[in-house]
Amino acid sequence: MKIESVDFFYCSMPEVLDIGDGSQDALLVRIRAGGLEGWGECEASPLTSIASYVCPMSHSACKPLKYSLEGKSLNDVEDIYSISRDAQQNSFDLLQANHTLSGIDIALWDLLGKKLGEPVYRLLGYKKSYPKLPYASQLFGDTPEQTFAKALSARDSGFRAIKFGWGPFGKKDVITDAAHLEAARQGAGDDIFLMIDAGTVWNDNVEAAQQRLAALKKINAFWLEEPFTNLSAGAYHELSQSQPSIALAGGEGCNSFEQANLMLKYAGLTFIQIDAGRIGGITVAKNVADVAESQNISFVNHTFTSHLALSASLQPYAGIEKDNICEYPVELKPLARELTLTNILPDENGFILTPEKPGLGMEVNLAILKKYLQNVEIRVNGKEIYYTPSV
């Protein structure tokens, strides 16, 4: 079948707050071919990504994404690999390209899965998928009391793993941070996996991170995530060698295979966290999962948006049995929470499963999409080169 259309839908909550919550807007991609449609989601600035799809060509290595999609065939997995390679080649000087390609690639896999009647993970070569233990991923409270209450609530909801991140953590003194960590552990209880996400707060300041290691050890933190700016591999490595020893997680900011590969090679990570909605899609994320597996580094999804994105982020490592932890956002804004008609829910054992239905196995709620839709129009020299298509 031939790709007939690639459509973007920019959705947003009426009010976007200045907080580290990526579920406040969404860029959905719909690709139609052969009477079917596939859906994907970019974890990206929606307007900027739309511009990267329709912009005029600047030169041979700075082409709009549409150049690599329009009129292409989609019949088997090789077609997706070929489009992914083409897009990266044709647009490698267009910085935004990989964020945009991510949603496109996800939609292509969804579409192909529907055509072939297979869940995406099987098309990726996995024979079966393994259950993942979801960690309730949420922001620190403004005060230790709030953090305590949030931990308690997550535990009461049945989660066996909880992650706190961002908010005030790392921004004030070590004592304040220790109070939040203690509160999180007290609220969660001793039998819960507890992850801590510093949200790159220390840039590349190794000493600032080292000062928190004792408090992290005391609460038996399962990992410390993103202490430093993405790609600060030297700082990561130094921290990985520091005492007391805490497993490091990172990589969500990686926007290409090469970036993730560098982090795998040099950063001393125990966990590599990949967002299929950023790194170039499921195709690139699967490549990272393969390399991580060969180096005995655990692959974990990064997902802070809808369950469409969650399904996409699970596919690349669905079949790796030992990598059994997954990020599971629990504070989604209504837009992200309601964007799919069904959500991926923990089973009675507290595990989640990658959907078995064809493609990503998720259905977009068009009413919700319409409710939050932002109409975009771009003109160059008076000529309309983009307008939001009809739902």
| 301 scored as a contact of a copy of itself (CB under 8 A) | no
Pick the binder of a copy of itself from 7, 12, 149, 217 (CB under 8 A). Answer: 12
Asked whether position 376 contacts a copy of itself by CB under 8 A, the answer is yes
Of the two residues 148 and 166, which places its CB atom closer to a copy of itself in the complex?
Answer: 166
Size of the site for a copy of itself (CB under 8 A): 65
Under the binding rule (CB under 8 A), the answer on residue 244 touching a copy of itself is: no
Residue with tokens 């390609």: 101
Q: Which of 34, 131, 234, 350 binds a copy of itself (CB under 8 A)?
A: 234
Site for a copy of itself contains 380 (CB under 8 A):
yes
Torsion of CA 208, 44, 25, 106, to 10 degrees: -120
Of 135, 190, 146, 136, the C-alpha closest to 169 is: 146
- Least separation, in Å, of the C-beta of 59 and a copy of itself? 5
| Strand 248-250, strand 298-301: pairing | unpaired
Give the whole-angstrom CA distance, residue 319 versus residue 255.
Answer: 23
Among 70, 95, 322, 370, binds a copy of itself (CB under 8 A): 95
Smallest distance, Å, CB 358 to a copy of itself? 31
- Whether the CB-CB separation of 129 and 353 falls below 8 Å is answered with yes
Q: Is 19 in the site for a copy of itself (CB under 8 A)?
A: yes
- Contact between 82 and a copy of itself (CB under 8 A)? no
In whole angstroms, the minimum distance from the beta carbon of 100 to a copy of itself comes to 9
Q: 312-325 burial by CB neighbour count: b if 16+ within 10 A, else e?
A: bbbbbbbbbeebeb
Nearer to a copy of itself, 21 or 177 (CB): 21
Which of 164, 168, 244, 234 lies closest to 205 in space, CA to CA?
234
240 binds a copy of itself (CB under 8 A): no
- Determine, following the binding rule CB under 8 A, whether residue 345 of this chain makes contact with a copy of itself: no
- The Cα angle at residue 305 between residues 96 and 268, in degrees rounded to 5: 70
- Give the span between the Cα atoms of 265 and 334, in whole angstroms: 39
Q: With respect to a copy of itself, which residue has the nearer C-beta, 48 or 242? A: 48
**Residue 267: both structure tokens together:** 């950063």
Structure tokens at 220: 């038996």
Query: How far is it, in rounded angstroms, from Cα 361 to Cα 118?
Result: 9
Nearer to a copy of itself, 98 or 283 (CB): 98
Assign residue 374 a region (left: φ > 0; alpha: ψ between -120 and 50; beta: otherwise).
beta
- Under the criterion CB under 8 A, does residue 50 sit at the interface with a copy of itself? yes
From the CB of 261, what's the least distance to a copy of itself, in Å? 7
Judged by DSSP in three states, 177 sits in helix
Window of 53-61, 171-179, 207-215, 318-326 that interacts with a copy of itself by CB under 8 A: 53-61
Examine residue 371 and tell whether it contacts a copy of itself (CB under 8 A).
Answer: no
Residue of the chain from 253, 280, 329, 358 that contacts a copy of itself (CB under 8 A): 253
* Phi, then psi, of 234 in degrees rounded to 5: -60, -45
| Contact pattern from residue 214 through residue 233 relative to a copy of itself, giving x for each residue in contact according to CB under 8 A and a dash for the rest | ---------------xxxxx
Q: What count of other Cβ atoms lies within 10 Å of the Cβ of residue 188?
A: 25
Among 5, 16, 207, 371, contact with a copy of itself (rule: CB under 8 A): 16
Least distance to a copy of itself, CB of residue 280, Å: 11
Residue 47 C-beta: closest distance to a copy of itself, Å? 4
Nearer to a copy of itself by C-beta: 103 or 355?
A: 103
DSSP track, 10-30? EEE-SS--SSS-TTSEEEEEE
Q: Which amino acid is at 354?
A: T
DSSP type of residue 271: E
- The residues of the shown chain that bind a copy of itself, judged by CB under 8 A, are 10, 12, 16-22, 24-25, 43-48, 50-52, 54-64, 92-96, 98-99, 199-200, 229-234, 253, 255-256, 258-259, 261-262, 265-266, 278, 374-382
